Structure 1
Amino acid sequence: MAAADALYQRARTEAVDHGPARALRLFRQALKRLDQAPAERADWLTLRAKVLLSLASAEAEITSLEAGLAQLAEAKAVVGRLPEGQDRDYTGDVVEIQRAVLLFRGGRLRESLVLLDEALPRLPMDTDERRQRYAVALMNRSYVHLRLSDPEAALADLNRCLELAESHGYRRLEAKARHNLGDRALLVGDIPEALRHYEEAARLFVSVGPGSLPLVRLDQARALLAAGLAEEAARHLDEALPQLHENRLIQDVAEAEVARAAAAILEGDFALAREFAGAARRRFQRRGNERWAEVAALANSRADAMAALGDRRTPPKRLPLELSGHAERLAALGLRDEAALARLLAVRLQLRRGAVGEAEALLACVPKPRQTTPVDHLMLLRLCRAELALATGKPRSALAQARAGLAELSQVRDRMGGLDLVCGTAVHGEELGRLALGLVLGRARGHAGARRLFVWQERTRAQVYRYEPLPAIADPVLARLINEMRHVQRTAQKNRLAGEPVGELEQRYSQLQREATRLGWYTSPWGRPRPVSSPEEVAARLGGRVLVSLIAHGDRISAVVVRDGRFRVVPLGPLAETVEITRQLHADLNVLAPDHLPAPLAAAVTASAEKRANLVDGLLVRPLAEAIGDRELVIVPIGPLYALPWGALPSLRGRAISVAPSATAWLTAAEQGHQEP
């Protein structure tokens, strides 16, 4: 009996620290020891029931839900042999709570919630062990509430659980509760709060439950994905997956693979996304988890859809049909947001195929967004509405959808805590912004049309750069890093205004950023949003300068030129050709950077650079000659042209030039420079 109890306690510790794989063997050994000395005493029966309960959990994770439920059935039979009384009733309720946990992990959420609601009111808290059991049951019910998209019910359970954990010193339970509070914050869209809870949970788990750290990394990655930070999310998942595999946490491995597929989709690696999504689906199917298997299948179809939408060819007919089928199955499983996503992707594919009627019918089936609808789903809904409006000859409605979508995105980003989160959410509005800019560009006529285009440029560009830094950071080490980052960023802005190099500053900023990220920069408040600068504010600040704001649409580049309070649109050269020649020019200048090049090689590369500079000049600057005259310039480039050495172009040599990511950013930096002594 004592040996079996010792094995049971060791197994529980292993389960917490390393997952169920190592614990499973010890639980089986404990059961074998009990079988060697069978007895019908209450203490023997109670211990056997406890071992079977824990064994059921481990079997469900590693083998299958059915295997776990079989162990629970045996545990229930053992409980039935206990003497009548409170102990038997209590242990029977514990069996039902464990059944609820297994059903939850198997995707049977409603059944799980019914069992928890029935058992929780009956649980006593007259001993420390029972008090802990009650708190754990509260936490498990919060899991179910979260998966059923009931954040308020989850918060009530978690707050009560955290209160019990903190007041009685249950540090492992406190870590789990904080982890769940992070999940709850993520569900309602408060990503900084979610990441703060995850960091607190991770700090606790380092000492009280290192086996749970990979699970925290998984949820941190989900939060980063919601913020559009695919690269950071992928890094967290790539760290967590080997540990999850080692601990044989099959459900969590598969969930991490779904998240990794989503990160790959954001990064445009559709083949990798299909690989992870396919592996996840097979794992879920082996476990009999229909809900998650369908989510993994959607990830695979999403990769196919995004690849097709990025191709100029007409998408195959099967893709929107597959997605419509996914939507039906997901809706039947109660996965409302995922079903809406599948339909929205099908809408875009049908519109690309020219099947406007089918797209309109699908869009009508998408329910209104709710509080917990992810921001990328909101942006996709706005994009579908805008594209459908364009397809049905309603450009004003399309612009109204784009305006509303970017306003919603701005509100979400204003709530973000760290600058990376502010930047990352931009990915969700990129396509919506491109659609609006292309539409406004096509209708831009004269001063009024150019001014309107400038407003839309700033609306889509200026979101990150309208944040003014706040001074207070609580952690002294992080504060030092953030202060240096702010200094480096401001210096770089001033250097851009002065036309001076910023390469070393940008490298230093990246180094500081990596270190600050490690210390929890994501959850520190970065700044307060300032309004996007109006055309009149920019024009007034320019004075005698001329601002050139580039825009790419299709395969053409255009420029909005602001001079003496007047706005005009000037067509420039082809996008692909300009970007390629710029890349070649940049490569030539890099070769010329060392001073020890042999004279013949230096002469050849110089001639190549001059030729390419002249070509770019003809594509970008000479068409602007009349509009810009010989004035000092402020240039707002498009992404692929940020590396262009503007001062090296023949028409701009010797001219004062400032380069900024947006007119709002330029105006902010100019005002700060004017205010400082």
Structure 2
Amino acid sequence: MDADDLHALALSRPTEALRIAHEVLAGTPSDAEAAAAHHAAGLVHRDFGDIREAVAELKAAYRSIRRTTDRDREDEILATLGVALVMGGQTERGLAALDAVVPGRTGVLAGRLLIRRSWVLGALLGRYAEALADAEQAVESLADTGDLIWEARAFQMRAMVLLAMGVIDRADNDFARSEELFAKSGQEVEYADARQARGAAAFARGDLPTAMQLSDDAQQLVERLGVLEPDLYANKCLMLLAAGLTHEALVGINSALERIEAQRGSSARHAELLLCAGLAAHAAGAFELAERRNRDAIRLFRRQQRPWWAARAELALLQTRFANGGRTAPLLRAGQRISAMLDELDRDLAAEAHLLTGRIALARNDSAEAVRHLSIAARARKRGLRTRGAGWLAQALLHQDSGRSRGMLGACRQGLSLIEIYVRTLGATELRALATAQGAELAAMALGHAVEHGSGRQVLEWSERWRATVLAIPPVRPPADDGLVADLAALRDLTQRMESSHDRGPGKSHQHRERERLESAVRRRVLLTPGQLDERRERLRIAELLEQLGDRTLVELVDLEDQLYAVVASHRQVRLRPIGPTSVATHALSHALFALRRENARRGRHELLLDPIGARLESALLGNTLQRLGDGPVVVVPTGRLHAVPWSLLPSLRTRPTSVVPSAAAWVRAMRAKPPGVDRVVLIGGPHLSAGREEVRRLAELYPDAVLLADGSATADAVLEAIDGASLVHVAAHGTFRADSPLFSAIELDDGPLTVYDFERLKRAPHRMVLSSCSSALGGPSGADELVGLVSALVALGSAGVVASVVPVSDPATVPLMLRLHEQLRAGDGLAEALARTHESDDATARSFIALGA
């Protein structure tokens, strides 16, 4: 095998190349053969992250090649050594080696040498103008030479520099070309690197699902090859953080960091991973860890003479200190210094630095300095995608500081509209919910202004502007994916076998690992669902809301800086009422839910008095708004933290029809929803309910034409087919809420759990649904003020109303309750009216259910 073939093998199948190199060196190789073997071994060690070993091998290669007359190969090996030296933190020596071999070279050799220097200048040192000049010359030198591998590297190098400079479309075209050439030449590692780089371009363009798909493809390939690619893990960490998947980002980047440290890998790449690990720790609220990571990264970047990277890491450090309460004069001076430095190095990143510095100045009441820095940051709102969010926030802060409320509100609207566009690029419910957190500060700023001015109408408008945002956008069904369907079916089968097995041996832990793998596969497939950019969110029109309410009263709760407020809309008026500390309300709710769980389980020796518990909860939630409720039905819009309130436990609402909705806009949409043309009732009885068979049998007498699925026929496929577009569905089955992963909350069927992921495959949700399942109304708070769970999925898919419980309920006690409920539904009552008539008893089970929607 000649030197070029061995070099190519080192980058495509590194383990095999390293074996061959060792075999060559174990014999009696010529100087040229020894140089080729050491060179290949050095490349493998460099890419595996063992820079010390790489430098040793490349120095040996250089000594061997100098004993030959092959000056071209000598230059190539010296250039490779120069790259390794820079990666190991010896920047001056490495650049000197590269600068020594580039001048005077032409043709293919010039292209090869220019690529190496361009990579060092751009990827490691952030000197993009010089790097682009080298990359352009490399592409020109290697075009039409027939050397596919080096031509691919030239395109990839130019793409990397263009991407760093924000020229995204040209970068993507070059990445696609390099990916094609690497595939043709069988360079698997470099193909994976090109694929993840295309993911980075998609991420920069704002297409997060495509970015994650390409990154996942690349990760699967490098893991199969056993290669550590730091760029891949660094870019994926940034993608996951942008998606709000903080835990996944932290776990992934810490794993990569441990691997590179164990391998004593590239000092340059180690520093980059430290920076990403600091960003992930910051997002997770682990500020002390984030500060340690950032300090370590800064020290390495400075030692490596990489000013752009050092400035980026220092900005991350200052952001962490500010988030952790830092407001000192030295912090302000550091912000001023880093802002000035980034003005010279990266004006997009400088916008973030000026925003931070302005905020520190505001916190220190230094208005002049705040205005100076915020004004610079605000100008970025008219630039590219990376800076517009920071620019609108800076503009809002500027107007707020100067008392220009109209300008501040306008900036908040513009910033939130920008985030809405981003949310619509995402198809997965989980990602959409998490993305809303990016607008929380802007929404709170505008909401705080409305509360301060005591305008109930303004508070309602701004509360609705960023409440249940995900539900206001039509859901995107996961693509028709046989793999997703197969994984969900396998997960159901495995879960059922685990729950029916009493085995506690070694096989049980294997089953748990397999369940985790299947859940991860399902989640990954759905997260990659692309959004639909043509979607439009319909704004709430308060005039229409007041007209729709009629004799009803709407109470919308607002949580602002741990203070609870109520917006009361009735009789064509909207009023704002302060309630009290949110913490008092959440404590009262926890006590009430505990009491209901205890009474439903019949575990206590003494019966708890629910009425005084309900009265305390009522006071904490509604305060003096009760006098404004009138005598008609009530529509309640709770906050995400208060979504599980058992409203019928409140004395004033005990027998009053009460509808619970995630937003006033959602209630208006539910009121508009038209039932299906065909009146189709579906009754479903799941396994293991002590009274489930009796419940379904008795309901079947009320609905003789209903589709009945029970006694083994309630399988996932049969249930999904039956309920799709049904007018009324009743489910008597055990329910589980997964706080750790709400989209895996499920209803237990005969062949296993039917999860939220399954429900999201429906073409049309049932018009109305009754879930006599345990804790089926629960959701997981996410993002700004979103809920993720079974009921929220049904509402998003178009269900007009759902009856569900907020705590586990007694199976036998549920049967008469459900019969009374359906008798009222058949008499023409709506869900809230029918449920209210079942609350006439003092039974804890009746008080555990709420009516959601219209």
Q: Name which of structure 1's ranges 462-471 and 579-588 shifts more when overlaid on structure 2.
A: 579-588
Cα deviation code 1:182-212 (max 9, x no counterpart): 22222232222322322232244344x5424
Shift in CA distance, 621/393, structure 1 to aligned 2, threshold 3 Å: closer
For 1:583 and 1:183, the matched residues in 2 are separated by 44
Aligned to 2:243: 227
Aligned to 2:452: 442
Shift in CA distance, 590/212, structure 1 to aligned 2, threshold 3 Å: same
**Do residues 563 (structure 1) and 557 (structure 2) align?**
no
Greater Rg by CA? 2
Q: Secondary structure at the match of 2:528?
A: helix
**Do residues 57 (structure 1) and 83 (structure 2) align?**
yes
Counterpart of 2:276, as a letter, is A
For 1:591 and 1:28, the matched residues in 2 are separated by 74
Q: Name which of structure 1's ranges 268-277 and 524-533 shifts more when overlaid on structure 2.
A: 524-533
For 2:648 and 2:270, the matched residues in 1 are separated by 52
For 1:350 and 1:573, the matched residues in 2 are separated by 31
For 1:239 and 1:651, the matched residues in 2 are separated by 54
Cα deviation code 1:99-154 (max 9, x no counterpart): 22222212222222222223331225434xx2211210110121111222222332
For 2:385 and 2:530, the matched residues in 1 are separated by 24
Q: Secondary structure at the match of 1:635?
A: strand
**Do residues 123 (structure 1) and 142 (structure 2) align?**
yes
For 1:245 and 1:352, the matched residues in 2 are separated by 39
**Do residues 620 (structure 1) and 626 (structure 2) align?**
no
Shift in CA distance, 151/380, structure 1 to aligned 2, threshold 3 Å: closer
TM-score (norm 1): 0.82
For 1:567 and 1:319, the matched residues in 2 are separated by 45
For 2:59 and 2:417, the matched residues in 1 are separated by 58
For 1:371 and 1:189, the matched residues in 2 are separated by 14
Shift in CA distance, 655/216, structure 1 to aligned 2, threshold 3 Å: farther
**Do residues 243 (structure 1) and 246 (structure 2) align?**
no
Counterpart of 2:295, as a letter, is G
**Do residues 162 (structure 1) and 199 (structure 2) align?**
no
Shift in CA distance, 481/610, structure 1 to aligned 2, threshold 3 Å: farther
Identical aligned residues as a percent: 26
Counterpart of 1:661, as a letter, is P
TM-aligned CA deviation for residue 667 of structure 1: 4.2
Contact kept, 8 Å, 2:348 with 2:380, in 1: the verdict is no
From 466, 472, 477, give the equivalent of 2:472: 466
Q: Secondary structure at the match of 1:368?
A: helix
For 1:542 and 1:657, the matched residues in 2 are separated by 13
Q: Name which of structure 1's ranges 144-153 and 664-673 shifts more when overlaid on structure 2.
A: 664-673
Contact kept, 8 Å, 1:182 with 1:196, in 2: the verdict is yes
**Do residues 359 (structure 1) and 365 (structure 2) align?**
no
Aligned to 1:110: 129
Gaps of 5+ in 2: 1-29, 492-515, 677-725, 728-854
Contact kept, 8 Å, 2:555 with 2:569, in 1: the verdict is yes
Instruction: Identify, as 1 or 2, the structure richer in helix.
Output: 1
For 2:282 and 2:89, the matched residues in 1 are separated by 31
Q: Secondary structure at the match of 2:567?
A: strand
Counterpart of 1:331, as a letter, is D
TM-aligned CA deviation for residue 92 of structure 1: 4.1
Aligned to 2:437: 427
Contact kept, 8 Å, 1:348 with 1:359, in 2: the verdict is yes
Contact kept, 8 Å, 2:278 with 2:289, in 1: the verdict is yes
TM-aligned CA deviation for residue 408 of structure 1: 1.8
For 1:430 and 1:672, the matched residues in 2 are separated by 30
For 2:119 and 2:205, the matched residues in 1 are separated by 23
Q: Name which of structure 1's ranges 110-119 and 427-436 shifts more when overlaid on structure 2.
A: 110-119
Aligned to 1:532: 539
**Count of paired positions:** 620
Alignment of 1:588-599 (within 5 A): 594-597=601-604, 599=605
Q: Secondary structure at the match of 1:157?
A: helix
For 2:561 and 2:423, the matched residues in 1 are separated by 28
**Do residues 348 (structure 1) and 359 (structure 2) align?**
yes
Alignment of 1:82-481 (within 5 A): 90-104=108-122, 105-123=124-142, 125-127=144-146, 130-207=147-224, 209-247=225-263, 248-308=265-325, 315-333=327-345, 335-366=346-377, 367-369=379-381, 371-374=383-386, 377-444=387-454, 449-471=455-477, 473-478=479-484
Shift in CA distance, 567/320, structure 1 to aligned 2, threshold 3 Å: same
Contact kept, 8 Å, 1:379 with 1:432, in 2: the verdict is no
Counterpart of 1:361, as a letter, is R
Shift in CA distance, 574/347, structure 1 to aligned 2, threshold 3 Å: same
Shift in CA distance, 534/166, structure 1 to aligned 2, threshold 3 Å: farther
Cα deviation code 1:28-72 (max 9, x no counterpart): 45445556xx232x3xx4444443333332332224223433544
Shift in CA distance, 663/20, structure 1 to aligned 2, threshold 3 Å: farther
Alignment of 1:548-559 (within 5 A): 548-559=555-566
Cα deviation code 1:621-641 (max 9, x no counterpart): 352222223443332222332
Q: Name which of structure 1's ranges 399-408 and 430-439 shifts more when overlaid on structure 2.
A: 399-408
For 1:162 and 1:290, the matched residues in 2 are separated by 31
TM-aligned CA deviation for residue 543 of structure 1: 5.1
Cα deviation code 1:463-518 (max 9, x no counterpart): 21112223451422225779999xxxxxxxxxxxxxxxxxxxxxxxx999754333
Contact kept, 8 Å, 1:621 with 1:651, in 2: the verdict is no
Alpha-carbon RMSD across the aligned residues, in angstroms, is 3.4
Q: Name which of structure 1's ranges 344-353 and 574-583 shifts more when overlaid on structure 2.
A: 574-583
Contact kept, 8 Å, 1:221 with 1:233, in 2: the verdict is yes
Aligned to 2:714: none
Cα deviation code 1:2-21 (max 9, x no counterpart): 34434433444454456656
Shift in CA distance, 660/99, structure 1 to aligned 2, threshold 3 Å: same
Contact kept, 8 Å, 1:214 with 1:240, in 2: the verdict is yes
Contact kept, 8 Å, 1:189 with 1:372, in 2: the verdict is no
Counterpart of 1:233, as a letter, is A
**Do residues 641 (structure 1) and 631 (structure 2) align?**
no
TM-aligned CA deviation for residue 573 of structure 1: 2.2
Counterpart of 1:90, as a letter, is V
Aligned to 2:694: none
Gaps of 5+ in 1: 81-85, 310-314, 486-509
For 1:191 and 1:116, the matched residues in 2 are separated by 28
